[in-house]
Structure 1
Amino acid sequence: MALGTWGRVYLTPDINTLKFATKGLVAMTLSLYLAMEMQLDRPYWALISAVFLQIRPQSGLVIEKGLCQIGGTIIGGGLGVLIMALSMQMPAIALMMLMVWVFICATSSSLTRNFNLTYGFAMGAATAILVVVLTIVNNNSSQGVFDIAVARVSEIVLGATCATLVSMLLWPDRVRYIIHGHANTVIDETFKALTMHLDANISMNDARQQIMSALGQALTLNNDSSAVVYEGPHGPGRARAAYLLSQRALSMMAEMQTYGRLVREHPTLASEAFEDALKDIRDTMERIRSRQTYSERKREINGLRQRIQKAELQRHGTPLARRMAQGLMILLGYASVMIEAHHAINDAENTRLKAPRLSRHRDYMPALTIGIRSSLLFAIGAIIYVSTQWSSGVLMMVMPVIFGTMFASFPSPNAMLKNVMKGGLVGIFAALIFGNILLAQAAHEYIMLVVVFGGPLFLGLMAINNRAVLANGLGFCILYIILTMPSNNMSFNISSFMDRTLAIALGLIILYTVFRIVPSPNALVLRRRVIRATTDDMLQLWERSCRQSRERASDWFNGRMVERVQRLANFDSQLPEEERYLLDLGMTGMNFGHLILANYRRVTSLDNTPDTREALRQWQTALAHAYQACAWGDFDERFTDASQALLKRLREAGEMDDEQIELIEGMVRRLDLTLHRFAKMSSSRDQRDISDVLEQAS
């Protein structure tokens, strides 16, 4: 009988899970020992700090997360002191200022792609809450505020430092090994997507799913590469190579999906020689995926490029067919660079590549929603505290803000919170038995404390190391630690335990309720914002292409598009399978940006006169607006007029030969087909939406 997820975690654990749990337990017991030796007020906060650093335990990631945690803690502590300095005698004003700070931290956390930085913002908000609220609860003086801030910062920094040192010294695991695995996966998934898109016998839906998988892997590679810079002098070189691989993978995906549509919907455009070339590409890509060494992969891709060039596909057939052949060479160029970048990740000592990280598209509407939600969580907790003067209410204010800020940007935050609450429920029972019954009977010594307290913690860490039950393990460990509160002066008071349990449970219930009551913005609104933002970026490409190289402008556009494409794909998954087109629409927008840059470079390299540049600018503007119009179910005729004006201008100028102009004409023809197709699909979908609304109204 097959074991379930929990059975695999605890009945048949792998060696990595056991090592992870052991490292985590060592880090936590070390931080607890030092905190107790230093006579800190609340040593358990050092343990909580160490718990969060166990997520993604590789050395570089732990260092990055530790720096973000320490930075957020110091800033939050300083802000807490400042708030109390301004409003020591006015607690209500202090809480209002604190609510504003929580809003700023939560909003900012959602505008970053780096989860470690998100966690830093969460710690900044939590530390400020602890400093301000504990000062209010204890009626402390100005000196007391400073002491509380120093204690909280010391506890959290101590936990982060211990976790970082243990991660680096005990069974160290390096980010570069993860990056190497990610890079292999990106190449494999992207080349598989190319093979599927160029095979008319494979359904477009299957090819679409494959490209989504490749997109996710490219984004993961880009995000994880930031931490490799902390691993030795060659870390920055590995990071740059990983960024380049991600960028070219995205460029290849943007190019391939359009040709996949043409291969399926316009088979008459392809000659026999073209079909042979497609088969050669598919076969070679499959061989490259099975090759393990750089030299073998490089030999395969170079041989393929030479064979395609010898076929001279760009010199025969209609303008559109020649443009398709040119696109194949572009795809193979991207593949070659991806192989070079993968080699540079492994051989950073002898290879130097340059590439920026993926840019970030920041949609402020969802970010503001997350900020409002987090500040509302704090406000509800503050109102309950002010009304009841409940000393344990600080937990009710801190925990929802931490979890709400960390999980808000996840695709399914409600599901994450459910799992945290399930794990926390088990943690409550464990804290009652081990922290208040068994420890009360044991000798009050550090060794006995670790022996009794560490067993359940080890089991919780085993869950954290498995992605499927990570949220459960995190909820268990956090609540188990907070409710046990290991320290020099532990009290075994069931009424106090129940008081803290009630505060945390109420805070998590409020958190889950607020997430349900204040949902993310409507999907249709977000979809329109994504399309409008894509259009705006396409309009900016003209200015960027004038100021920067084509590669830099392309990289900027890729980074801003990747999350938009993922968001459109999420909207797509909510539609019936036969009506899904939003992913294709997003990838087409990415491809249009690359076409704008390529056409700009191709034309201006031969004809850079003011009249030609103005015709190009008008064509680009018309294409951007036509893309937005087709997303709303309309075809903008201004694109046709601008295209004809551009072709006319190029012919009159005489700087480009007929073959080059025909290639541009083929590109325009392909764009025309694509825009008409999306306009028809979008129009049909809008009509169905209207019919559904009328039917519901009747």
Structure 2
Amino acid sequence: MSPFISTYLTPNATAVKFAIKTTLAMMLALYVALWLDVERPYWALMSAAFLQIRPMSGMVVEKGICQLVGTLIGAVAGIAIMALFAQARVPALIVLTTWIMLCTYVGSLWRNNYTYGCLMASVTAMLIVVISSGSAPAGIFDIAVARLTELGLGAICAMLVSSLLWPSHVGTHLATQADNVINQAFEHAALRLEASDDIPAMQKALRSSLGPLTLLETDSQAARFEGPAGPGRVRATHVLTRRTLRFFANLQALHQLMHDHADRLAPQSIELAGQIAQGFRDAEHVKGVVEARKALQALRQQVHENEEESRLAPLDRRLRLGLRESIGHAMIMLDAREAIASPESHKLRSSPLAWHRDHLAASINAMRSGLVFSLLAAFWIVTAWQSAMIAMMLGTLFSAFFASRDNPIAITMMFYKGMLAAIPSAFLFGHVLLSQANGFPLLALIFGTPLFLGLLGATNPATMGYCLAFTIFNILLTMPGNGMDFSFDSFANRVVAVVIGLSCVVMGFRLLPGLGTRLRRRRLISAISTDIHELTRRSIRDAETRFSGHMADRILQLAQHDDMLPEDQRHLFILGLTGLDVGTATLRLRDRLDDAPHPRIREAHRHLLGTLASGFEERQRAAAPRNS
């Protein structure tokens, strides 16, 4: 069945609630904006719509704060630009282009709602500079205040509706994501300890764990806006991320040991690893953290039974040590899961994590945004067409908004199709029918219909791009307000403007699509190598924080790149896990030997760390021709 048919013929309760909540927030924002008679009420609608895309209370508050702060910064930047170049339009646009590029660059380096704040800073400055061009200097401040008022209204209405109507919380979402992380990690552990050669199955389980883990780490920041328990959830998330990565690194080493030296390991050790693998698989299906912890404790006791370590061969001793460490990491992962669900009764300590940031990719995104805006600004100056401002706004908004997505060209084309579908809808509901409306209730009923239909499909990933575009462009093509112009000429001008604006965004992504797949792969591997070298130059805590945060994102990207390669060339996944294992071993050695009293031990320790880093660097260089 088509996703559109299933979405609209058999909508689920979550989709209906989301559509109702977001439509009510938008209608409330529109009513207040019309009552206050602001200049552009549709900006309050847009603000409420963007904030409700993920309607969990903490995320709405965090995004609302980022939106308001970004809008304020953008307003200050716009006023400063016009104060310097009030009578010089071209220099003002050149400085504005630089500001838009800076905002896009900084936003591309972040992964949370700060990116949205950077987006609003660029759009707000653009609106102030473009709208106030040719205006009296005294009116520039009034334009800035109007933009702040419009966007602030939408943010307040979205936060109000989100907290009062079917409230959902980030804490519940984080607990669900943590369950997914742990369950898939245990499945991955079972495959590793069985010394399985099914690399695709291991990749799938690892990716199914790292995906929610990356999302968990990003979304956890919003939990601090949900009361005093929020910071505890954030710290527990950091603990879960660190321990999960150590868990994976340890499993990679054990799998390599069992795969390469199976003939030198005692049969009892192989059998023990298989029993623990089954135990992890059973623990995955256990309902409740308490029962899962009991199962892991039984596994740990099983490792200690039967034989003493002094009688074991070195490889068997290493295997059992690794099994105990894996179980220990798994138990702390369960503690972190419990702390995420109940931070009041389970408290953990942890420092925040760093993220992998690619400055070259951010620079390309900034260049693309500057190119799109420059083309549209030149078109505006040459044609002196008033509706070109809409195209400039769309170019600024979406060239930065899509830049941080995994496949921006495909998403842009989805929005383009959604925009084309919105044209007849906006003409019917926003002009033909709305021109006959009298009073706000009838206006809300007519205009809210296409918005509700668009939002109904926004919760399905397969239809989200089309439906969000349908909703947004219904607003932009209608532009509801107290003094609406229902003439066909004004509607046709807006249609041409949105087509030109979004076409320039598509062209921008075609001309500057970003880093190629091969270059991104090489940069990811090189970044891992650089981080391993830097592990010896920072404090242990700072090094662990940066390394753990970077590696979750990098390994997930490497696993995705592996899927695009032939079966006999899928080495990136293993190479990333090897880097994770080498980095974790380096941190463990530093923890034990950095303060060694004898100078020869310290010298040998430094030599060993350098050898480990150099060994990984040589391996990644040797693998580069096969992976490129």
Do the structures match in fold with TM over 0.5? yes
Segment of structure 1 superposing worse, 316-325 or 35-44: 316-325
How many residue pairs get matched? Answer: 628
Question: The residue matched to 1:468 in structure 2 has which SS?
Answer: coil
Question: The residue matched to 1:608 in structure 2 has which SS?
Answer: coil
Distance 1:505 1:299 in 2: 60
Does the Cα contact within 8 Å between 1:81 and 1:131 map onto a contact in 2?
Answer: yes
Deviation for aligned residue 1:201:
4.4
Segment of structure 1 superposing worse, 397-406 or 93-102: 397-406
The answer for the alignment partner of 2:55 in structure 1 is 57
Cα deviations by residue, 1:361-389 (Å, 9 ceiling, x for unpaired): 22211010011011111111111011111
Distance 1:429 1:316 in 2: 80
The answer for the alignment partner of 1:13 in structure 2 is 11
Deviation for aligned residue 1:6:
1.0
Deviation for aligned residue 1:548:
3.7
Does the Cα contact within 8 Å between 2:376 and 2:395 map onto a contact in 1?
Answer: no
Is the counterpart of residue 245 in structure 1 residue 240 in structure 2? yes
The answer for the alignment partner of 1:269 in structure 2 is 264
Question: The residue matched to 2:347 in structure 1 has which SS?
Answer: coil
Does the Cα contact within 8 Å between 2:31 and 2:440 map onto a contact in 1?
Answer: yes
The answer for the alignment partner of 1:120 in structure 2 is 117
Name the amino acid aligned to 2:75. G
Question: The residue matched to 2:606 in structure 1 has which SS?
Answer: helix
Is the counterpart of residue 523 in structure 1 residue 517 in structure 2? yes
Cα deviations by residue, 1:68-87 (Å, 9 ceiling, x for unpaired): 11111111111111100000
Deviation for aligned residue 1:261:
3.2
Does the Cα contact within 8 Å between 2:203 and 2:559 map onto a contact in 1?
Answer: no
Does the Cα contact within 8 Å between 2:3 and 2:462 map onto a contact in 1?
Answer: yes
Deviation for aligned residue 1:614:
1.9
Segment of structure 1 superposing worse, 87-96 or 394-403: 394-403
The answer for the alignment partner of 1:492 in structure 2 is 486
The answer for the alignment partner of 2:590 in structure 1 is 600
* 1:677-688 alignment, distance < 5 Å: 682=623, 685=626
User: Which of 606, 610, 615 is 1:621 aligned to?
Assistant: 610
Distance 1:187 1:409 in 2: 27
Unaligned runs of 5+ in 2: none
Is the counterpart of residue 4 in structure 1 residue 7 in structure 2? no
Deviation for aligned residue 1:230:
0.9
Is the counterpart of residue 572 in structure 1 residue 562 in structure 2? yes
Distance 1:498 1:684 in 2: 54
Distance 1:353 1:683 in 2: 40
Q: Please, what TM-score do these two structures have when normalized by structure 2?
A: 0.97
Deviation for aligned residue 1:542:
1.9
The answer for the alignment partner of 1:37 in structure 2 is 35
Could you say if the C-alpha distance between residues 19 and 627 of structure 1 is closer, same or farther in structure 2, counting changes exceeding 3 Å? same
Distance 1:330 1:438 in 2: 68
Distance 2:381 2:306 in 1: 79
Could you say if the C-alpha distance between residues 313 and 17 of structure 1 is closer, same or farther in structure 2, counting changes exceeding 3 Å? farther
* 1:185-196 alignment, distance < 5 Å: 185-196=180-191
Q: Please, what TM-score do these two structures have when normalized by structure 1?
A: 0.87
Distance 1:97 1:422 in 2: 33
Cα deviations by residue, 1:116-148 (Å, 9 ceiling, x for unpaired): 221111111111111100111xx2111111111
Distance 1:523 1:83 in 2: 38
Deviation for aligned residue 1:315:
3.7
Identity %: 37
Deviation for aligned residue 1:356:
2.7
Deviation for aligned residue 1:318:
4.2
Name the amino acid aligned to 1:304. L
Distance 1:610 1:201 in 2: 43
Distance 1:243 1:340 in 2: 12
Cα deviations by residue, 1:243-291 (Å, 9 ceiling, x for unpaired): 2112211211122123223323432132112112112211211221122
Distance 1:50 1:466 in 2: 20
Does the Cα contact within 8 Å between 1:197 and 1:204 map onto a contact in 2?
Answer: no
Segment of structure 1 superposing worse, 528-537 or 190-199: 528-537
Name the amino acid aligned to 2:304. Q
Distance 2:486 2:456 in 1: 27
The answer for the alignment partner of 2:412 in structure 1 is 417
Does the Cα contact within 8 Å between 1:81 and 1:149 map onto a contact in 2?
Answer: yes
Does the Cα contact within 8 Å between 1:222 and 1:357 map onto a contact in 2?
Answer: no
Does the Cα contact within 8 Å between 1:273 and 1:313 map onto a contact in 2?
Answer: no
Deviation for aligned residue 1:441:
2.4
Name the amino acid aligned to 2:346. T
The answer for the alignment partner of 1:671 in structure 2 is none
The answer for the alignment partner of 2:329 in structure 1 is 334
* 1:46-85 alignment, distance < 5 Å: 46-85=44-83
Segment of structure 1 superposing worse, 47-56 or 254-263: 254-263
Deviation for aligned residue 1:510:
1.0
User: Which of 99, 103, 106 is 1:105 aligned to?
Assistant: 103
Deviation for aligned residue 1:485:
0.7
Unaligned runs of 5+ in 1: 634-681, 690-698
Name the amino acid aligned to 2:96. L
Question: The residue matched to 2:462 in structure 1 has which SS?
Answer: helix
Question: The residue matched to 1:543 in structure 2 has which SS?
Answer: coil
Name the amino acid aligned to 1:421. Y
The answer for the alignment partner of 1:473 in structure 2 is 467
